[in-house]
């Protein structure tokens, strides 16, 4: 199968809202520091990055969004439980 056919097949199966996010964007979306992100990856509690090149990595936006959605909501909304 020609390479162009492989790329179009991959594009057809990818979700339409899928993006690759840089570390800068992941930090902004999660509120985590670089060291915390990599510590969570090492613990297996955060999605692993994808290597794009020798010095470039990115995360799938859907994986980061799913991780954010899995976090406890009480802290994100400033509930009384946090203030006590």
pLDDT tens for the 84 residues of the chain, in order: 454 444 444 445 556 779 999 999 999 999 999 999 999 999 999 999 999 999 999 999 999 999 999 998 865 555 555 444
Measured over the CA atoms of residue 40, residue 45, residue 50 and residue 54, the dihedral's sign is positive
Expressed in angstroms, the distance from the first to the final Cα of the chain is 62
**CA–CA distance, 43 with 10 (Å, rounded to integer):** 30
Q: What is the pTM of this model?
A: 0.69
Helices (H), strands (E): how many in the chain? 6, 3
Q: Where are the beta strands (DSSP E) in the chain?
A: 20-21, 50-53, 56-60
pLDDT at residue number 27: 98
Predicted local distance difference test score (pLDDT) of residue 76: 53
């Amino acid at each position: 199968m020609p390479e162009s056919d492989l790329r179009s097949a991959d594009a057809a199966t990818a979700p339409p809202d899928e993006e690759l996010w840089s570390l800068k964007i992941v930090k902004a979306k999660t509120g985590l520091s670089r060291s915390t992100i990599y510590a969570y990856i090492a613990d297996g509690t955060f999605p692993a990055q994808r290597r794009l090149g020798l010095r470039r990595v990115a995360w799938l936006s859907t994986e980061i969004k799913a991780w954010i959605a899995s976090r406890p909501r009480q802290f994100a909304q400033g509930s009384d439980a946090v203030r006590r």
